[in-house]
Structure 1
């Protein structure tokens, strides 16, 4: 829904400056995001020569900087607002499930005026596992009160598709996902759309 890559780059490089480590490029971040903040920071430390025992220090710095800039460099993908509006008008209950920490996700949705579309917002810290494990999606289905087979997962990466397959949910991916640098259309999914408002309802 929201392209947050430049938020990640800004927060990570501010964190690295705090740790007196070299900055990372946009390409590195593009290929690394999607598996949760802990994974992102661990990979960033490895990329820049940071020691493993600096994970805690790095996490605290990253949290501080991301909270400060969350949404400042982000933009909605075309068709998102219109697509969510159509889904709401069709009476379809919506939940947002992301590997981003819940507080970051909620603040971002509010800043981009999307929070009102969702009945529930669950981040990567909401459950004991993160996507691609099926647990977060199964718990989201429970919260919606709908069987997994009747919940459509709209995602942008292999993480989403793998979680959906394991949970028993149909899955459609948007074509513009980062997907760790791999082509999204090569992922095992039930379909692909270029814009959220291209989703056929009914």
Structure 2
């Protein structure tokens, strides 16, 4: 059974506007904090491939792309040579990440309350992430939020990944809605660019993985804590 909101709280007016008919969310850095498991999966993969170890306090600048993009960014950041068999490296990361089973991943505080309230308000909801589809489904199941979403789209669901607008447009289409009827929640410039090119209003989660690249990013609304989307 879905939880009810604490007494006296309701959804922010952003979510109850007449022209908002559906919501689409990025996953990593927006709904869930998955960085510890992603980085550990990368660390294990690089070590197994014979590359040097990542520093214990390492945090990549790029944690918002596809696994291909994140891996290449880390390799460049560390000054390593790209392995000849990069496809094998990507496959190994998927295996290592899956084996971690999201053990150090968590839902951002307050996010589930907001999502459940949106579900109770009968708002169709989808996920559009650069995680591969299998990992996205696994993560939402593990976090206990899978049933809140009508559709989940991964980086391998379509011919292109974000920042292309294609994944977001297709996710909205699968919800039976139009771009102008939806809000897209994300935490990075990749999400903002995707929303802009799709003609979708963008809501920025500033506590995610976006960093300084978000300084000049257009947004229709922004929040740091999920409980900001609940008002008395």
TM-score (norm 2): 0.80
Counterpart of 2:61 in structure 1 is 31
> How far, CA to CA, are the matches of 1:25 and 1:190 in structure 2?
37
- Please state whether the residue corresponding to 1:78 is helix, strand or coil: coil
> How far, CA to CA, are the matches of 1:76 and 1:120 in structure 2?
19
Counterpart of 1:62 in structure 2 is 93
Q: Would the aligned equivalents of 1:71 and 1:108 in 2 still touch at CA under 8 Å?
A: yes
> How far, CA to CA, are the matches of 1:127 and 1:22 in structure 2?
34
- Please state whether the residue corresponding to 1:171 is helix, strand or coil: strand
Deviation larger for 46-55 or 80-89: 46-55
Paired residues, number: 200
Q: Write out per-residue CA displacement over residues 15-43 of structure 1, whole angstroms, 9 at most, x where no aligned residue.
A: 01111111224765441211110111222
Task: List alignment gaps of at least 5 residues for structure 2.
Answer: 1-30
1:112 aligns with 2:143: yes
1:22 aligns with 2:52: yes
> How far, CA to CA, are the matches of 2:152 and 2:213 in structure 1?
27
Change (3 A) 1:165 1:200: farther
Q: Write out per-residue CA displacement over residues 161-183 of structure 1, whole angstroms, 9 at most, x where no aligned residue.
A: 1111111111111110211x326
Identify the structure with the greater helix proportion.
1
TM-score (norm 1): 0.92
Q: Would the aligned equivalents of 1:9 and 1:24 in 2 still touch at CA under 8 Å?
A: no
User: 4+ runs of 1 displaced by more than 3 Å?
Assistant: 25-30, 183-186
RMSD, matched Cα: 1.8
The structure with the larger Rg is 2
Counterpart of 2:176 in structure 1 is 145
Deviation larger for 74-83 or 103-112: 74-83
Shift of residue 88 of structure 1? 0.5
Change (3 A) 1:163 1:29: same
After the TM superposition, which residues 52-201 of structure 1 pair with which residues of structure 2 at under 5 Å, given as runs? 52-179=83-210, 181-182=211-212, 184=214, 186-199=216-229
Change (3 A) 1:81 1:144: same
